[in-house]
Amino acid sequence: MRRKLTIAFVGLVFVIGGWFLLFSASEGPTEAEMAQLRQRDANRRAASLEAERRSKTDLALLSEHGRGQELPDYLVSEIDREGNFWFVGKPDSAVGVQIPFAPGRLPLPPAETEPLNPNPGFLGAEACRDCHKDKYDSFIETAHHRTTRLALPNEVAGSFEEGSNRMATGDPNVIFTMKQRGNDLYQSVQFFDWGFEVPFHIIIGSSKMAESYLYWHGDQLFQMNCTHLTERDEWINSPGFIDGDAIYARPIRSGCLDCHVTYVDYRKSANHYTPKSMILGISCERCHGPGRQHVDYHVANPDVKEPKHMKVPSKLSRQAQMDVCGQCHTTKKAPINEQAFQFRPGDKLSDHYEMIDGKEESLNSVHTSNQVGRLSLSQCFQKSEMGCVECHDPHRNERGNLKLFSQRCLECHQQEHCGMKERLGDRLADNCIDCHMPVRASKNLQVETGEGNIFPPLRDHFIRVDQEATDELLNEKPN
Ligand code: HEC
Ligand code: HEC
Ligand code: HEC
Ligand code: HEC
Ligand code: HEC
Ligand code: HEC
Ligand code: HEC
């Protein structure tokens, strides 16, 4: 059993990283370790019983709907060495379940804890609405604002309707079904004849490519197994997850949230937070600095029109501007000493993050296509003072408007500079982008499905003559 499960989980080690190495290095526990494990297991079970007592309403529902069943005899469970996770599997089968709560129990609702470290003054975009209504109204439509939000039924893109609410895997004994009861949404897992349910709490991803989902277990946050892929309108395995396993124990560390929420109070040990301190979405303040002082000042001094206590990136050096966006759009490792949310506009990125120096699209362990590194390879960047705002207005959603982006190229270029002008005539100006900044399947994002792997596309910011992209485009739309 240990062997089989270890094999099944080893794959994840490479995808998810060092953290899981804990399991793969195992050579079987000693007698003393086993005793310790049993003791931890007993402690955990006691803790779960306590949790059960606390979430009575959920439990009533649970038995009513057949969730949280005790394990049948033919399934075995094993707790990991740190006492954090349960593996559930069949002795004769390689597929498995990973959950951070004991089999037969439920994830705990978000914990009611107090913040440990004071919030340095992040308020969220709502705090700017009254005085910057024009900016606010368009900003809330952007991918930044929408990148994390509460998983309410009208916000989740995927279907909960019978017929399209299932995700089959390559293994017939592992089936996922998306369920809705009132305003509560669940991923329901059927593993052989045993099952359990996990609630949706947070959506991560504006759904331009995909939405993934997170749930609270007390003060810990985990990624759910099923993600929704926008292009196919389908439920798929989360990127990096193994098809056929049911994985609900992938911890969400502060480095992940550093790029996808405005702020959250995090504890000393990894993946422990104060749930109610979390400010969802990337607000104005990740580019302008925490807003409390500014807001307090202008509320108290309504007649003052000179701005106080606020930074505007375009008034900083170009490198400092790139560093503002580089918090999330470049190759870097997790924040130094896990100190997320410490960067302020004007700071040097390398003071807060361990940098990976490189211009490849996929050097880091995450999935940005390294826009900062790629753009800086371009002649446009090297021979001008261009930054990101030459083409992007961070306060608007301009996605898909390739004609508008092409006009921004023409702020510096003339159509006649392009060798294709003669051939394409006036149509040239409709879309410089797909020829000079093509989208390509990204090595950063790999999704395993029952029918093979998918690599969602990202746009390359290395602006250059790309003959291949040109040929593709011309073949699609022949003259
Ligand atoms: C009580 C009113 C008020 C609130 C609330 C407010 N601001 Fe301002 N803000 C001002 C005033 C007044 C100015 C100066 C006039 C102007 O530029 O509009 C200003 C200017 C700015 C500037 C330009 C600074 C510069 O140097 O040019 C930025 C950026 C800014 N605010 C961001 C924010 C953000 C982010 C929030 C929310 C966290 C916010 N403001 C909330 C009143 C407010
Ligand atoms: C705190 C992290 C963070 C910072 C700082 C940040 N971004 Fe982003 N940005 C993201 C994330 C995450 C996404 C993807 C959101 C999604 O689709 O869920 C994104 C998406 C985008 C997009 C794609 C929008 C779309 O709909 O296609 C653009 C363009 C962009 N960012 C530009 C910038 C620029 C320019 C800056 C600096 C002025 C910047 N970002 C700063 C995290 C950040
Ligand atoms: C270094 C910053 C960074 C980290 C860390 C990061 N992301 Fe992202 N994420 C981005 C950016 C930027 C994008 C948009 C992709 C692009 O355009 O390059 C994105 C895109 C996404 C998307 C797709 C959004 C869409 O609208 O299609 C999902 C889902 C996502 N991230 C989830 C996660 C999860 C879960 C983690 C942690 C395990 C994580 N990200 C860690 C920056 C980051
Ligand atoms: C992704 C980074 C980013 C986010 C998020 C962002 N801004 Fe900005 N903001 C900038 C940059 C960069 C500039 C300078 C733009 C320029 O000069 O073209 C700017 C300029 C401004 C200005 C002053 C210049 C002007 O155009 O009037 C104000 C005021 C402002 N932002 C307010 C806000 C508010 C309010 C929000 C949230 C509702 C917000 N910003 C969100 C990056 C951002
Ligand atoms: C801020 C001004 C600016 C903007 C905006 C700009 N460029 Fe450029 N671009 C330049 C400069 C300067 C060069 C170098 C030209 C030279 O040396 O003659 C250049 C070079 C190029 C080259 C030649 C690259 C090579 O390797 O020879 C291409 C192709 C190009 N730009 C396309 C674009 C496209 C497409 C856009 C819009 C997506 C764009 N540019 C936006 C300033 C800009
Ligand atoms: C159908 C694809 C296509 C479109 C659309 C297109 N280009 Fe080009 N572009 C090319 C190719 C291919 C070349 C190299 C052609 C040559 O040198 O004969 C080129 C060359 C260039 C160059 C000169 C590069 C050099 O040799 O220094 C610039 C600048 C440029 N394009 C800018 C633009 C701008 C700006 C637009 C939009 C207004 C645009 N292009 C639209 C394919 C395209
Ligand atoms: C010369 C113009 C130009 C500059 C400069 C530029 N971008 Fe972009 N960017 C684009 C275009 C065009 C798109 C495609 C927009 C679309 O598909 O709707 C894009 C898309 C993006 C996306 C979405 C990625 C995806 O694959 O869908 C992100 C994130 C982004 N840019 C970030 C940045 C950042 C960060 C910078 C500065 C380092 C930057 N961009 C500078 C033109 C530019």
Q: Write the residue with the smallest CA distance to atom 6 of ligand 4.
A: 284
Interval between CA 288 and ligand 1 midpoint (Å): 10
Report pLDDT for 57.
Answer: 43
Max avg pLDDT among 30-39, 422-431, 451-460 = 422-431
Strands (E) in 110-253, as ranges, are: 148-150, 166-168, 174-181, 184-191, 194-199, 202-204, 210-217, 220-223, 226-229, 234-237, 246-247, 250-251
More confident of the two residues 284 and 454: 284
Contact residues for 32 (Cβ-Cβ < 8 A; gap 6+)? none
pTM of this structure: 0.91
Residue 56, pLDDT above cutoff 90: no
Report pLDDT for 41.
Answer: 64
Residue 477, pLDDT above cutoff 80: no
User: 227, 169, 148, 189: which is closest to 66 by C-alpha?
Assistant: 189
CA-to-CA separations, 35 to 11, 79, 99, 456, in angstroms, rounded: 28, 12, 22, 46
169 lines ligand 3 (CB under 6 A): no
Q: Write the residue with the smallest CA distance to atom 29 of ligand 4.
A: 132
Report pLDDT for 239.
Answer: 87
Angle at 444 between CA 233 and CA 199, to 5 degrees: 50
Report pLDDT for 445.
Answer: 66
Which SS3 state, helix, strand or coil, does residue 454 take?
A: strand
At 125-164, the pLDDT tens digits run 999 999 999 999 999 999 999 999 999 999 999 999 998 9
406 lines ligand 2 (CB under 6 A): no
Residue 450, pLDDT above cutoff 90: no
Interval between CA 314 and ligand 4 midpoint (Å): 9
User: Which ligand has its closest atom nearest to the C-alpha of 431?
Assistant: 6
Tokens of 299: 């509320």
Interval between CA 78 and ligand 7 midpoint (Å): 46
Q: Write the residue with the smallest CA distance to atom 24 of ligand 2.
A: 143
Q: What are phi and psi of 382, to 5 degrees?
A: -70, -30
Band the pLDDT of 16: cuts 50, 70, 90. very low
CA distance 325 to 332: 12
Rounded to 10°, the helix 31-54/56-65 angle is 100
Question: Looking at residues 223-228, what average pLDDT do you find?
Answer: 97
Interval between CA 367 and ligand 3 midpoint (Å): 6
Band the pLDDT of 67: cuts 50, 70, 90. low
Q: Write the residue with the smallest CA distance to atom 17 of ligand 6.
A: 419
Residue 24, pLDDT above cutoff 50: no
328 lines ligand 3 (CB under 6 A): yes
Report pLDDT for 14.
Answer: 28
